[in-house]
Amino acid sequence: MENEVIRLGAFELKEKIVKKLSKAGLSEEYAGDIADNLVFADIRGIHSHGAVRVEYYAERISKGGTTLEPKLRFEKTGASTGIFHGDNGAGHMVAKKGMEEAIKLAKESGIGVVGVREMGHSGTLSYYVDMAAREDLVAISVCQSDPMVVPFGGRENYFGTNPIAFAAPTNKKRPIVFDMATTVQAWGKILDARSKNHSIPDTWAVDKEGNATTDPYEVQGLLPIAGAKGYGLMMMVDILSGSLLGLPFGKHVTSMYNDMTEKRNLGQLHIVINPTYFTDLETFKARLSQMIDELHSIPAGNGFSEVLYPGELSEKIAEENQEKGIPIAKSVYEYLESDIIHRNQYDHSTAFAAGSKK
């Protein structure tokens, strides 16, 4: 049965998230950084990375798995490179500050490559590349995650969902922004299905026997997108955001759930390119806008009403939700409204058991 949804304005939703995370022990400033990212996701229909995650963050914060007052430090390692040391602070805040440094480098020298070390879960990556595109820059961001994916040809999990995000400016009202897991679906989509009592397509995941499943509560492994191709991409992301930064890799990446007092030590890599070092900015933006127009002009295939560029559907959903309010699962809304900080439903469980209480 589909769960009822409650619609909230962006400001109201952010306020509720900040209140809950502050109650868990995080400063209002850092709670605001998390909330901005979650609202960005929810308003675009990416509910897997929105308010559904608040209870998990609150549990980890309250149990010491997030450094409340991290010693943040940016180490410039070259004319266009640097490392942002996050001291395992709130991942959304650390990743945001790392992107700010990458943007500065790109403006100064044409390109900025910043590795972000020792951070918690950072939410939807499109938030960070969007920051750069709004500054007329091109950006790529990749991030490792805990092992939840069955490698192509295998039955035991090794890599994470390891997402990739990309953004570029246009001379239209929106930049091009898209964000994808290297699995058929991100783990957050499974959590979202659980929160709404939905089944999932049988192409998303497998059960403990390695068989396809439609029950989100039976999931024990996710599947790479496009088989061997997705498998290769998730390895690439793991290398760029893990091994390249001297951090744990593959199955050695810490679990989101095994020990909520444990720091995550995750890595993320931001690559920002200044188009003016390669071409005329306005010509570049005009060409991307022309590309969008030409894609829109292509006749729609069977079962489709129009051709959209990657990420455009999320922007259309955002426009609609700005008018109607952001839909939040009733169960998530009730948690945000409650006096409960968390219900101990994540700690000391496997990734797939976490949040599994019906």
Q: Which position among 49, 121, 270, 342 bears the catalytic label?
A: 121
Strand segments (E) across 59-201 = 73-76, 81-89, 111-119, 138-143, 164-168, 176-180
Between 316 and 210, residue with greater pLDDT: 316
Note the helical H segments in the chain: 10-24, 28-43, 54-62, 91-109, 126-133, 187-195, 228-241, 281-297, 312-324, 330-337
3-state secondary structure of 232: helix
Per the annotation, the verdict on 348 as an active-site residue is no
- Other CB atoms within 10 Å distance of the CB of residue 124: 25
| Segments making up each domain of the chain, as ranges | 5-281+312-337
Residue 37 has pLDDT above 50, yes or no: yes
pTM: 0.93
CB environment 219-250: b (16+ within 10 A), e (fewer) = bbbbbbbeeeebbebbbebbbbbbeebebbbb
Q: What is the pLDDT of residues 60-105, one digit of tens each?
A: 999 999 999 999 999 999 999 999 999 999 999 999 999 999 999 9
- Tens digit of pLDDT for each residue in 102-135? 999 999 999 999 999 999 999 999 999 999 999 9
Q: How buried is 140 (Cβ within 10 angstroms: 0-12 exposed, 13-18 middle, 19+ buried)?
A: buried
The domain 5-281+312-337 is placed in CATH, from the list 3.40.50.1370, 3.40.640.10, 3.30.1370.60, 3.40.50.720, at 3.30.1370.60
